[in-house]
Amino acid sequence: MLDASGSMWGRAGGVPKIDIAKKVMAKAVPGLPKEVRVGLVAYGHRRKGDCKDVEILVKPGSQDRDGLLAKVKKLSPKGKTPLAASVMQTAEMLKSKENETTIILVSDGIETCHDDPCNSIKKLKESGIKFILHVVGFDVDQKGKKQLECLAQAGAGEYFTASDADSLLAALNKVKVEVARKVEKAKSKKVKAKSRLGKLKISMPKDSSKTLAGVRIVRAKDNKKIKETQKAEGTHPLLAGKYKVLLLYANTNYKVADQVSIGEYEVVGGETTEINLGALAINIAEPLGKVVTGVELMDQDAEKRYLLHFDDKNGYYMFRNRPLPNGTYSLGFQLGRNEKPSTLYRDIKIEPGKTTVQTVDSGIQLKKAPSADVQAWKLTKAGSDEELFTIARRWDNDWPIWLAMPAPPGTYDLWVKTKGMEDFLPVGEGIEINKGETLSFDTGL
């Protein structure tokens, strides 16, 4: 709390007291311990003869010391000395503070607005507000000294006398030592031993965990399995350290689950590390799903395969919602007897906590040609050799040549190979496949 009343233009050692105060503040404030938070109140700096001229320039609890000193530098003394009003207004802001606040009042004169400032400070202390009031009397007479000493005593603090820059700085430094001790004491009270245990919390959209057989947590530094549980969602207490997390995608007919790492995560003692997964739902039209014998998801950015699930005459998990880390994915289907999946959909966005739906409702089906011995057919992007997929029969039957095949909307060329032919024969050019439609194509064979 800094006196900026008109009397601060008076001189001490030939220098205006306000200039001395500014220079001393510029030296004292930066030297405070870094844990100390600050505030600034000034009075008498805006209007002459106004007992309400009290301004909170920096609210208590600030760490902006440069900003505080910048406001001190701009002060220009003008008015009265409302000591009691200044302390009461400051104390009002300290009601919610748990720790004791140290108020340092620097004044060069007595109260000019209140009849009994000492009694006002005493009542504030009795109200339970946690503060200590130290007072620095800067170049004051005996009458002023007596009153300022009374204020310090009422505020359970000390009174310091200063007559020039050196003694003012010495007084503030004494208070600074007391404040530093208080901070150290408060710090010692608040120190807590950190637990070596942290937590790993895994969450995902509703129903997506049904495709998981569980989760495995592996310590990164030695690849030791720390935990494996069928309950993929939930919170897992772990020692502090780095861990790899593997999702175990379920397979039917008691086959071993597909193990896919979703990344490495650091667990910090006393804290919770969260893994918030998204999910993919494949909404495929029923006729188009009959030929699908496997589903592949690829992280496009990392070029990493997240799941390759093959049907074993049991498609229970085939199109159920699948949990995934956030990212951009492509979706591929293994069609019929093909050994490799065909990538049909790209740029699928997976976001934490959300289920992304990929609709598969367009495709193509060849009209059966009993008079021609069709061995295989393929679909390419129109006017190019970029192949979407090739469908071939086995030597003993024609499955799945005549089934409906999923294909994204677009323009394609169709090629067919018959028995005895070395090359594919172009039977359709610029074929349009529209969203929500399965095109029935007659090859004319």
224 and 313: one domain? yes
Same domain, 75 and 37: yes
Q: Are 98 and 128 in contact (CB under 8 A)?
A: no
C-alpha distances in angstroms, 414 versus 47, 332, 383, 422, 439? 90, 20, 11, 16, 12
pLDDT tens digits for range 366-413: 999 876 789 999 999 999 999 999 999 988 888 999 999 999 999 999
> Which of 47-61, 155-169, 339-353 is predicted least confidently?
155-169
State which of 190, 222, 252 marks the end of a domain.
190
Which of 133, 162, 190 is where one domain is finished? Answer: 190
By CB neighbour count within 10 A (0-12 exposed, 13-18 middle, 19+ buried), where does 34 fall? exposed
Burial 288-313 (b: 16+ CB within 10 A, else e): bbebbbbbbbbbeeeeeebbbbebee
Asked if residue 103 and residue 212 are part of one domain, the reply reads: no
Alpha-carbon distance 260 to 20, whole Å?
Answer: 70
Q: Are residues 377 and 407 in the same domain?
A: yes
Which residue, of 190, 221, 256, is where some domain finishes? 190
- Note whether 224 and 307 are same-domain residues: yes
Integer Cα distance of 182 and 134 in angstroms: 14
Q: What is the CATH number of the domain that holds 372?
A: 2.60.40
Q: Are residues 207 and 171 in the same domain?
A: no
Domain membership of residue 343 as a residue range = 197-360
Helix (H) or strand (E) holding 258: strand 258-267
Buried b (16+ CB within 10 A) or exposed e, 256-277: eebebebeebebeeeeebebeb
**Are 39 and 145 within one domain?**
yes
The pTM is what? 0.56
Work out the number of other CB atoms within 10 angstroms of the CB of residue 60.
17
When pLDDT is cut at 50, 70 and 90, the band that residue 312 belongs to is: low
* 296 and 344 assigned to the same domain: yes
Q: Are residues 207 and 149 in the same domain?
A: no
CATH code, domain carrying 50: 3.40.50.410
Answer yes or no: do 221 and 84 share one domain: no
Task: Provide the 10 A C-beta neighbour count for residue 347.
Answer: 8
- Rounded distance, CA 138 to CA 267, Å? 55
Give every CB contact of residue 185 below 8 A, 6+ residues apart in sequence: none
Q: Are residues 160 and 281 in the same domain?
A: no
In this structure, are 169 and 229 located in the same domain?
no
Q: How confident is the model at residue 441 (pLDDT cuts 50, 70, 90)?
A: very high
Do strands 159-162 and 131-138 pair parallel, antiparallel, or not at all (unpaired)? parallel
pLDDT in tens, 228-264: 999 989 999 999 999 999 999 988 877 888 888 999 9
> Residue 25 corresponds to which tokens in the numbers above?
């503040």
> How many structural domains comprise the chain?
3
